[in-house]
Amino acid sequence: MIKLVRCTTFIALLLPIAAVGQSSPNWVEKAVHNFGAPINTMWAEGELSFAADGTMVYCSARADMAVAEGDPKDLYIATFNESTGNWNTPVNMGLPVNAPPATDDDPLRLGDDREPWITADGNTIYFKSDRLATTTPRNNNDLFVTHKVNGVWSAPEVVGFPVSTNEGDEHCPAILNDGQTLCFASRRAGGYGGSDIYCSNQDDQGNWMEPVNQGPNINTAAEEFHFSQDSDGMVYFTSSRPGGYGATDIWGAMQTGENQWGPARNLGPLINTAGADMCPALPPGGDTFTWFSTRQDNSLGNIDIFWTSKLNVAE
């Protein structure tokens, strides 16, 4: 009989493990799975992250639940229903977390809110938004943060300079395992090229300190973005560097010290495809790996969210 392993309260991804005496993973563990409805839709779904209790926050371009007509992407929260064995209907986080288009203020303010990162306690979400975008100087987006207070999400505040800048188009925020280090992607001057990944910590007064470029093992002349770290210290991220399987692949590098990483390794053909494979996220429990992709197999829309056993991550 196949035994089922549950990831704490995150029970959406039930992974059967090999039976006693079985030397290799079974077919369910080897497969890549589409998250399915109601998470994936005919519209594009994207970046996701998980709180420790399994609550998932992600972004979607779905038009049927958008805060405003023409809104490119909104943030959604989803919980898993243990009794039905499926995800509950996602909830649009609504105003003021998701901003409506404001192109009368600036043509770049399209109402594009995406790339959420929820902290382990489920009470803070960092994300990217174009709500303060400016044509001159050209600044498409900045990082914002919202907090849950008495069950209500606060009006987002910009994560100010030196994290958000007028030139860097900061995006893809994430918190490392220490619960304190904020990492993000930026196109600011002085990097290796394209989007580079930077990390910052707060001083004793709660001010973000000068971000540190994460160096040549992480950043290249190509695009790098979206850190996600596992309990062993391995960080997973997106890169368009040469040597991958498609437009963008997911890579991994082991942390060797503060702002220091070992050589990056491609996660292999079960994760990466000829399409765009991006923005890894790790559900609680450590057994499952998730990301979103334009891969053509088992797709409900043009971009879907997928999951597989972490056994399939080539390291």
Residues counted in the chain: 315
Q: Note the pLDDT of residue 258.
A: 95
Tell me how many degrees the CA angle 102-106-109 measures, rounded to the nearest 5.
50
Mean pLDDT confidence for 146-173:
96
Bridge partners, 77 (sequence order): 57, 91
Bridge partners, 308 (sequence order): 32, 289
At position 122, the amino acid (one-letter code) is G
Q: Are 286 and 231 spatial neighbours (Cβ–Cβ below 8 Å)?
A: yes
In eight-state DSSP terms, residue 116 is E
Mean pLDDT confidence for 178-184:
96
pLDDT digits (tens, 9 = 90+) for 61-77: 999 999 999 999 999 99
pLDDT digits (tens, 9 = 90+) for 292-308: 999 987 778 889 999 99
Q: 3-12, 246-255, 304-313 — which is least confidently predicted?
A: 3-12
* Strand, coil or helix: 281: strand
CA distance 16 to 309: 10
Q: Note the pLDDT of residue 149.
A: 96
Q: Which residue has the higher pLDDT, 119 or 83?
A: 119
Q: Is the confidence at residue 7, as pLDDT, over 60?
A: no
Q: 24-38, 59-73, 180-194, 231-245 — which is least confidently predicted?
A: 24-38
CATH H superfamily, domain 3-312: TolB, C-terminal domain (2.120.10.30)
The pTM score is: 0.91
Q: 15-19, 109-113, 281-285 — which is least confidently predicted?
A: 15-19
Q: Which residue has the higher pLDDT, 311 or 92?
A: 92
